[in-house]
Amino acid sequence: MIPIAKPYLTEAEAQAAYDTILTGWITQGPKVAAFEEAFAAYTGAKHAVAVSNCTTALHLAMIVAGVSEGDEVICPSMSYIATANAIRYVGAHPVFAEIDPVTYNLDVKDTEKRITSRTRAILLVHQIGLPADIDAFQQLAQKHGLVLIEDAACAAGSAYKGGRIGSHSSLVCFSFHPRKVISTGDGGMITTDNPAYAQRLKLLRQHGMSVNDRVRHESAKIIFEEHLELGYNYRMTDIQAAVGICQLQRLDAIVEERRKIAYRYHEALADIPGIRLPLEPEGYFSNYQSYSVRLLDDCAIPRNELMQQLLDEGISSRRGIMTSHRERAYLPAYADVSLPVSEVASDNSIILPLYVPMKEEDIEKVIAVFRRLLLPA
């Protein structure tokens, strides 16, 4: 069976976890600090704050952005559901905007139409690793006095107009779940250029504690911590961070390999009628976290049937990105919401296997079976 995705973990990661365990310091300590420093340097952001996953990163980003009860935050419905959930965690209301039918990223014009006096922020998603038009959204946010937060869960290693994702906005949230391009098991990171944000994020992730364990441990004088505000336990462990440091060193090489496989698919599938392959506009650099193919009206076979036939041939696939407003957790509050572009795109997309290292014969098998199913003799 060819899987849909696979984390690229080696002896180096296993050794790093092993070594960390034997140091006796296993949660948020020196390895987390080193991973943060390396991640900030990699992205070009001034600060990076590690947390337990991207969902908790988004939750803390909402808090430091000042989003609270009754506020509205505009985001795509077509995203993993954690995007919208993070808005609800602070009592705010997700307002779903449409996506661009070609890039699947948030549509700037439709977003502007949905701004009201209660809108506080825009949560911009870089869909499966393809950056959204950050400049356009920064301008929009500025014009209306809104905070721009980036959900870059899938976008580690992607770049926009020459700058790596993480370097553009004041709150950018990443995921290291195994389904993403690099993984720490679970894990997340927030990059920011704002020192006050960084400081508050570090407080919030550790129970609102004024002194972290490491400072207390290294102090020659006794210190008593204070708890300054309602905080959370959103720590990353040092075991995860040690793995993350290894993964980050390999990130560019992984992205390069992913892009090579994506180009193989582009070339081999380009002549099939009734489908649209992913594209990368000028100035946008995708890490190809997923390779999603859009099935058009004249496609030879319906999406679910295609998925089943691929599975019968030993090839895993996934449906395209979900829409949040049609999930039970959002119905009935969103029963009146209609987002035709997102709905049609979600229902008619299929994600193909792409991981590193992917065996040559497996790449060829995916191509051959996909072609056979979509080009009936």
Ligand X SMILES: *Cc1c(COP(=O)(O)O)cnc(C)c1O
Distance in Å, CB of 57 to ligand X, minimum: 7
Q: Which residues bind ligand X (CB under 6 A)?
A: 53-55, 79-80, 82-83, 125, 151, 153-154, 175, 177, 188
Q: Output 104 or 334, the one with its CB closest to ligand X.
A: 104
3-state secondary structure (DSSP) of residue 107:
coil
State the catalytic residues.
Answer: 180
Environment class of 218 (CB within 10 Å of its CB; exposed 0-12, middle 13-18, buried 19+): exposed
Give the integer Cα–Cα distance in Å for 209 and 40.
23
Give the integer Cα–Cα distance in Å for 53 and 174.
8
**∠ CA 227-123-340, rounded to 5°:** 145
| DSSP annotation of 315 | B
Distance in Å, CB of 367 to ligand X, minimum: 26
Query: Could you tell me which residues are beta bridge partners of residue 163?
Result: 160
Q: Output 51 or 115, the one with its CB closest to ligand X.
A: 51
Q: Output 53 or 342, the one with its CB closest to ligand X.
A: 53
Give exposure, 288-315, as e/b (b: 16+ Cβ within 10 Å): bbbbbbbbeeebeeebeebbebbeebeb
Q: Output 155 or 275, the one with its CB closest to ligand X.
A: 155
Distance in Å, CB of 82 to ligand X, minimum: 4
Distance in Å, CB of 79 to ligand X, minimum: 5
For residue 152, CA distances in Å to 128, 205, 270 come to 9, 19, 28
